[in-house]
Structure 1
């Protein structure tokens, strides 16, 4: 897809933004319309991980006349968003691409690919690991004193929010990676302040899990810690390969001095 020039008047920037938003919205609507016919099958796939957690002898129930249409419309939009994820991420990145230097643009395609892969990885992790544990725990809180009606709208809303929440949370490695290799937050800071960062990840786990389930939060916390450590390991490798092992101990000022010396040597 075409990339706009680096310098444009304000109105041209707004026009470029409108064009890219239009591409995203039109792609999403077309995909959702096409997917709508397949929503019964997709809903069956969605609830497969939680079948064993549903109260015995129950199935999803629609409680209103418009309930079926509402569910199918939401599910169609949800899967439309999943299918259009590469387009959405690329259009957002491409809007900012003109502001990057030529040597920085080489990172765009790998970054887009990593964002898409991590988003899907988060959703897959949620589907196979989180859904059954989270929904089962929430249902168990009611079964001892009340019957549970498997309201389709309620169940599917929770499941879709969990999927999106985990997909977004799994973008953490990219944030950590770029903060580290750009020395916006030096690598040694990530390493020395790990206790505070772990507490922050625990808080983030509580914020991004929409069901307020401790089971979901603990599993999310474990996943984020693992991703955090993997991101730091990759950043360490890149820093050593690019600037040498001493760069792991640099402050932001030392990195700026090193970069300035490199630029002067290349002039």
Structure 2
């Protein structure tokens, strides 16, 4: 990865940023054009987990421009996924010069964890959430009327759910770094678990775009599991690095220990 010098004139930094943004935009555009021709097969793949909820009815497009708009959105969605390594590569190349050698050692594992958690969130959503969410939503209509399976509406919700779960699954990384850096002491996470669980419930309601209690509760359960897993890993590292007493440190205790 080409890394520029840490100190550069402002316009050189802007030129570097423009160059990297250009690479990202061109890559997204090229991949999106290629993926566009495969969108019918990709849409079939997207609809696979919710076919049962459709009750055998096909998707419907209600406008002349609708087909192109849908295929364009889907191609951009998959282009963003395919090009994510390039995006990360260019972002890292821009910011790494500002980091110390010690800080740079954390970059690769952090980025790898971010990508893995985002992928895990999307996979979890695809196999567990999509069918439950759409099944509940469509059943609300069939309780009193017939359902028109609007393709754009269905695919928009599908993509928002995938992105929402991918972003929400970054929570363990945030909790992990807050804990091991004692920005929020480990003991605080443990003492305030009731408030944190309520906060996770609110986050689940905000991130899920479909207003389905089924989706919200499934995300809430997943976030609790991820939260507890992140604290377990943070506990192990804190004990291994600073000893068991460090679990009760405040931020001031951590800073004092760093000076000693």
| Length-normalised TM-score, structure 1 | 0.93
Displacement of 1:248 in angstroms is: 1.2
Q: Which residue of 1 aligns with 2:21?
A: 21
Q: Which residue of 1 aligns with 2:74?
A: 75
- Equivalences for residues 189-204 of structure 1 within 5 A: 189-204=188-203
Q: Which residue of 1 aligns with 2:140?
A: 141
- Structure 2 residue runs of 5 or longer lacking an equivalent are none
Q: Which residue of 2 aligns with 1:45?
A: 45
Distance 2:145 2:205 in 1: 27
Distance 1:16 1:176 in 2: 32
Displacement of 1:17 in angstroms is: 2.3
| Length-normalised TM-score, structure 2 | 0.96
Distance 1:112 1:138 in 2: 35
- Equivalences for residues 106-117 of structure 1 within 5 A: 106-117=105-116
Q: Which residue of 2 aligns with 1:6?
A: 6
Q: Which residue of 2 aligns with 1:181?
A: 180
- SS of match in other structure, 1:71: helix
Deviations 1:191-239 (A, max 9, x none): 1111111111111111111111111111111111111111111111111
Distance 1:225 1:90 in 2: 31
Q: Which residue of 2 aligns with 1:265?
A: none
Is the aligned partner of 1:119 residue 2:118? yes
Deviates more, 1:240-249 or 1:13-22: 13-22
- Structure 1 residue runs of 5 or longer lacking an equivalent are 262-267
Displacement of 1:96 in angstroms is: 2.5
Distance 2:182 2:19 in 1: 34
Displacement of 1:92 in angstroms is: 2.7
Runs of 4+ in 1 over 3 A off after TM superposition: none
Displacement of 1:255 in angstroms is: 0.6
Distance 1:89 1:192 in 2: 36
Displacement of 1:123 in angstroms is: 0.4
Q: Which residue of 1 aligns with 2:87?
A: 88
What RMSD in Å do the two structures reach over aligned CA positions? Answer: 1.3
Is the aligned partner of 1:31 residue 2:26? no
Q: Contact conserved, 1:90 with 1:112, CA < 8 A, in 2? A: no
Displacement of 1:130 in angstroms is: 0.3
- SS of match in other structure, 1:146: coil
